[in-house]
Amino acid sequence: MVFGERRGIIRFCETPKDKGRIMSRLGLNEVQVESYLDILTRQSMLMQNNGRYITTLRGQDYIASHERIRKISQW
C-alpha cells in the first residue's frame, strides 16, 4: 500500500463515504480500493457501517501524528 493513498483514504473518510465515491475521488480501481479498505479496516483505521466507511479514532490519531511529524521535519 502506498502511504499517500492510505492517508488520502483515511482523510477522505472523515465523513462516511461509500466504496464508489472513494474509488472516484482517489482515482482507484476496484481491486485497489478493496485491498486498501480491507487493510485499513483490519488495522482499525476505518470502520464500515451500512456500506459506508468512516475514519476511526485510531485513524484520526494516525493523521494527526503524521501532520506533527511533517511540521517538525520542515524546520
CA distances from 35 to 27, 28, 42, 62, 74 (A): 14, 10, 11, 19, 32
Closest CA to 35 of 58, 63, 1: 1
Q: Say what the pLDDT of residue 3 is.
A: 58
Whether the per-residue pLDDT at 1 is higher than 70: the answer is no
Q: Other C-beta atoms within 10 Å of 55: how many? A: 23
Q: Say what the pLDDT of residue 26 is.
A: 93
Whether the per-residue pLDDT at 71 is higher than 80: the answer is yes
User: Can you give the pTM of this predicted structure?
Assistant: 0.87
Q: What percentage of residues in the chain have a pLDDT greater than 70?
A: 96
Q: Which regions of the chain does DSSP assign to beta strands (E)? A: 17-18, 46-49, 52-55
Whether the per-residue pLDDT at 5 is higher than 90: the answer is no
Q: Say what the pLDDT of residue 49 is.
A: 95
Fold of 3-73: Arc Repressor Mutant, subunit A (1.10.10)
